[in-house]
Structure 1
Amino acid sequence: MDMQTLIDLLQWPAMLTTLIAAWLVGSQTRRKRNWGFCVFILSNVLWVIWGWHAEAYALIALQLGLFMLNLRGHRKNEAHARTG
């Protein structure tokens, strides 16, 4: 299998990673939410790689914005754990 095909197939693990992250972020436990934000960041990276390959620049911009929101969510979740 060549690199082109592997990157074409990357959209499927990216999609699955995004769904897992959303499930984890919806958890009531801080630890699972933290993992969810980290998994979301992994999904952002996977989508950017696939988007670059597919020349889907709006998707890349979206993922960069979501990356920033995921960092914010991770930080707020950590800060809440320290104060709560």
Structure 2
Amino acid sequence: MAVTLLAAWFTGSTQARRRIIGFWCFILSNALWVIWGWHDHAWALIILEAALALMNLRGFRKNLGMRRAQRGNTERQ
């Protein structure tokens, strides 16, 4: 739960770099929740976390692209 809260803190940032860190934290938290769900046979939790992990990977890719675009704009100036 603490990793999930940390991830939410970072993804709320206006800086793409911090949001990327947040998405890495979210992916880590997804893995931790899956481990816990596996241990407790909470199959719905595992399915939910797998779906959330896919959305977090999408957010990670989008923010990575934004970060590259920001770097390109600052290098041109």
With the shorter chain as reference, the TM-score category is 0.7 to 0.9
Aligned counterpart, 2:60? 74
Aligned counterpart, 2:27? 41
Task: Give me the CA root mean square deviation.
Answer: 0.8
Q: Which consecutive segments of 4 or more residues in structure 1 shift more than 4 A?
A: none
Number of positions where the alignment pairs a residue of Structure 1 with one of Structure 2: 70
Percent of matched pairs sharing the same residue? 56
Q: CA deviation at 1:80?
A: 1.5
Is 1:18 paired with 2:14?
no
| Amino acid paired to 2:65 | A
In structure 1, list runs of 5 or more residues that go unmatched.
1-14
